[in-house]
Amino acid sequence: MALPEISVAQASYASGQSVQLTVENPDGDRVWIAIRRHDISPHASTGSGSSEAWSYVCGSTTCSDQSLVSNRFDIDDIGDGLWRAYLMKDMTFPYEAMAFSNAFSVGSTGISSSQPDMRVALQ
C-alpha cells in the first residue's frame, strides 16, 4: 500500500496567489488538508498552532461526501509567511498528520534555495 503524500507546486507564491497542492493516497475517512506555519507541530490545535486555511479532500470545507475528487487543489486566502501543507486525519484533537509538504513562502518572505527537501510521509 502506498503511503499518503502532499506536496506544493512551487517554493514561493506572491501575496494573494493560490497555493497549488498535490495529494496522493489519502487513506481513510475524515481526511483534510491544513496549511500551518512551517515551524509548529501539526498536532497543535489552538492559537498559533491553528490552521491558516483548510479543506477536506473533496475540495471544500462544506462537502458532505469527503471522498477525494481530485489530487490537485488550489488553496486561497493564505497570509504572508512561511507555511507547510499537512494531510490530516480525524476531526477531533489530537489530530493525526499523515504527511506534510516542503516549507513554502507566501509574500515577501523568501525561502533559501539551499533549504533541504523535507517532504516526508509520516507513518
For the segment 51-74, the average pLDDT, to the nearest whole number, is 77
CATH code 2.60.40.2840 for 5-114: yes
Q: In this predicted model, what pLDDT tens digit does every residue of 2-18 receive, in sequence order?
A: 889 999 999 999 998 99
Give bridge partners of residue 23 from the DSSP assignment: 6
Q: In this predicted model, what pLDDT tens digit does every residue of 18-27 receive, in sequence order?
A: 999 999 887 7
- Cα separation, 69 vs 89, in Å, equals 17
Helix (H, G, I), strand (E, B) or coil at 48: helix
- In terms of Cβ atoms closer than 10 Å to its own Cβ (0-12, 13-18, 19+), residue 8 is buried
- Cα separation, 95 vs 109, in Å, equals 28
Q: What is the pLDDT of residue 69?
A: 67
* Cα-trace Rg, the chain: 13
For the segment 89-104, the average pLDDT, to the nearest whole number, is 82
Strands 96-100 and 72-75: unpaired
Give bridge partners of residue 33 from the DSSP assignment: 55, 87
Higher pLDDT, residue 27 or 80? 80
Residue 113's pLDDT band (cuts 50, 70, 90): very low
Q: The whole model's pTM is what?
A: 0.77
Angle at alpha carbon of residue 66, lines to 100 and 83, rounded to 5°: 25
